[in-house]
A and B are shown apart, each in its own frame.
Chain A
């Protein structure tokens, strides 16, 4: 035994030495504290050209603008391709490939003038015909684009998606090389916004036809954005390099952009600290507090167009025909506690359905939003009683969520609130992601379930249409003719106070019916090295590398 402890001591001593030696060496090119040292080491070549290294979450499934989904793919696609319109660093819509456009008096016809110097990376001009081909491809059932619905405002898009019309009947035509006309079925105030989405981007017909699925690969890709494909190693790194043919090439400051698909948040943080990344987009929740304290100037939290909510299944009891119960449950949740104690990323408590950062709309909010906690809880209890539940006859309800640490914490807290405030009998059930999605879609045995919705463009309609009974993605089974009418009306009105009133009425109707319980509005969290300039947070969460610069 004596020997064994001696051995242990030697080993322990060794480890201590390594640790002490290892932790001691802190150079001067670092910021942060000893608990979170961060290396400041921009990658600038001898000739002064800079490389931006972006942590990019997951490996993109595809870089085909018409088939891609998810933020990681969109980040790369926006650097490679550009649509008729683009998004400025502050989130405003700005001209892209089109230098200007006119709208007809009836708001049904848009005529775009393309830039004379808009070119593909192979040097050929970007023409109106390229856009005609691309938008037809985006709605063609053969492409099976996940974002095909985004183009529904265009004449015949619905018929083409469902297969009852040919793609060449789409309401888009090339007047000449540089003039493009798009016809809509009804006035659509957010139409221009949808043109900044990747599924509206042009692709080069010759590349698609020659290479098929591989048309985005290095060597094959022909792009019209600020960058073009340089190399792609699955699960390792995608590198883009300056597209010297891009019309705005003079303004591009960064020569090369590397996207690292780092799925694990802790790994991304280590690599950011080690000076291997200039930009990180996922921060492990458990390290948020440390990050905010140690490197406040590198931490950015930006409110975005996204809502975390609980859906209630209105097809079955207990939520079928029970608006009072649904309101009581919504009211019993203390949202402030959830954002302060659990998510802790400066999220915004949701007292309405539409994020307040959305453009051109004053959100409605719950009538009880301003009540004190005691009054709010008393009101919730009163509604709960009116709905026919009591201590003797408590509500039995299941919260279902997909297996994830954050979802689990939130579900536990909400369950505790429903138990504590109302006396409900709450059970929790988690399912693996795909199993969960399947259950929610089927909707046969779900009761309350966790969901999220991220807006596709900066207009309230991207949230409103989700709850339309005919939208097809409405997992709650909410079916209110009054709401549908208001939503459809607002979708086709010109922007202005009148539209604002209609949307307000729609949101108020939704909140009163409470088929969903909004919990909080998302923020995106970024770590950005001090030498990266040009970052301005925007609610669309869109950051073009061309708008950034590296200034060591």
Chain B
């Protein structure tokens, strides 16, 4: 298994290289540059700035310079946030996004799995309909609608929770719910579908026939199998959620990584965008690998 993991990680290097090259080419192909601003710069000043950031060199030289720096784990200075480096921005933003993402993921699993199980075990009864309607609402209400609504109710009309910022644990509640609700709903639906299928399978029938308590049948025999689709959904979802959500970060004023990507792209902050792209790339590779390893643990039929 270690050998497998090592092979996968080595195989990721060319992928990341291609990713970086594509990102470089696409950023530079976009019209406009970091120094096009609402207050147009005088030509001399623009020339001075471009020289300072080596933007006056041929593209290939800039690319070489960038690759060399990246190999030394130096993502360069941010064009937009000039007092800090891209490394500092990622170091500051990632823990926040990761914390928020992990909490949302936990929220989604803690509420989504029991909800789905309950719905499956009481199929076509009130609780099933209630759970699935809730899930439907969770999926179909976009978080940019849910978040402001929650802010209105919990922060503006009442004093229960802050409207934004990450002052204490209270600050996490609304963003976590806003970010986790859709995923919780999705998890509930996945679990319901797979549980219904698993409960009809022969080995569950066997377990029942052997006279095991229904609690034991569900928890020991059915649950692991019904979680497999959740796990395969989890890999990409976790990478996505942990690297930050622009919408939620913007609405709640959270200093995560997600905003940098979008604001950076809009401002043509070349180094910031490429730094974040590379960081995302590495995370996705790692998460996909973790999921594949988890499969082997959950399902004995999978071997490496």
Contact = CB atoms under 8 A, between A and B. Distances in A.
Interface string B142-162: 000000100111111111001
B155 A61 contact: no
Among A61, A144, A475: residue with most chain B CB under 10 A = A144
A514 B165 CA distance: 48
B93 interface: yes
B252 A22 contact: no
B29 to A, nearest CB: 12
Among B152, B162, B166: residue with most chain A CB under 10 A = B152
Contacts of A26: 157
A213 B82 CA distance: 7
Interface stretch (B129-137, B225-233, B286-294): B129-137
Contact of A273 (B80, B156, B251): B156
Among A59, A234, A235: residue with most chain B CB under 10 A = A235
B45 A437 contact: no
Interface stretch (B32-40, B110-118, B187-195): B32-40
A432 B268 CA distance: 12
B50 to A, nearest CB: 9
B168 interface: no
Interface in A141-158: 141-142, 144-146, 148-149
B259 A3 contact: no
A37 interface: yes
Nearest to B247: A264
A149 B42 contact: yes
Contact of B124 (A3, A39, A441): A3
Contacts, number: 192
Given A69-B39, A438-B32, A260 B253 contact: yes
B33 A434 contact: yes
Given A141-B48, A233-B92, A273-B156, A59 B81 contact: yes
B44 A271 contact: no
Contacts of B151: 270, 274
A481 interface: no
How many residues of A sit at the interface, in one of the four size bands?
35 or more
Contacts of B156: 37, 39, 270, 273-274
B82 A64 contact: yes
Contacts of B124: 3
Contacts of B82: 61-62, 64, 67, 213
Contacts of B163: 267, 270-271, 273-274, 276
B157 A276 contact: no
Interface string B177-207: 0000000000000000000000000000000
Contacts of B31: 434-435, 438-439
Contact of A217 (B49, B83, B133, B249): B83
Given A11-B134, A18-B153, A234 B81 contact: yes
B155 A270 contact: yes
Contacts of A217: 83-84
A445 to B, nearest CB: 12
Contacts of B80: 61
B46 to A, nearest CB: 9
B40 A62 contact: no
A266 B45 contact: no
Interface string B57-92: 000000000000000000001001111100001001
Given A7-B130, A437-B32, A148 B255 contact: no
Among A64, A145, A213, A471: residue with most chain B CB under 10 A = A213
Given A141-B48, A271-B253, A146 B157 contact: no
Nearest to A149: B42
A27 interface: yes
Contacts of A472: 40, 42-44
A145 B45 contact: yes
A320 B77 CA distance: 43
B18 interface: no
B255 A234 contact: yes
A170 to B, nearest CB: 15
A237 B165 contact: yes
A216 interface: yes
B30 to A, nearest CB: 7
A262 B36 contact: no
A435 B153 contact: no
Given A237-B165, A260-B165, A267-B253, A437 B39 contact: no
Contacts of B165: 236-237, 260, 271, 276
A8 B126 CA distance: 10
Interface string A458-475: 000000000000011101
A348 B201 CA distance: 74
Interface in A203-245: 213-214, 216-217, 233-237
Contact of B89 (A148, A234, A432): A234
Contacts of B157: 22-26, 37
Contacts of A161: 42, 44-45, 48
A63 interface: yes
A61 B38 CA distance: 14
A337 interface: no
B162 A276 contact: yes
Given A61-B80, A270-B155, A437-B36, A149 B134 contact: no
Contact of A266 (B43, B83, B148, B268): B148
Contacts of A266: 148, 251
Given A236-B255, A270-B155, A435-B30, 11 more contacts: A7-B126, A37-B157, A39-B159, A59-B81, A146-B45, A163-B48, A233-B255, A262-B164, A263-B263, A266-B148, A438-B32
Interface of A: 3-4, 6-8, 10-11, 18-19, 22-27, 37, 39, 59, 61-64, 67, 69, 141-142, 144-146, 148-149, 161-163, 213-214, 216-217, 233-237, 260-264, 266-267, 270-271, 273-274, 276, 432-439, 441, 452, 454, 471-473, 475
6 contacts: A37-B157, A149-B45, A161-B48, A276-B165, A437-B40, A473-B41
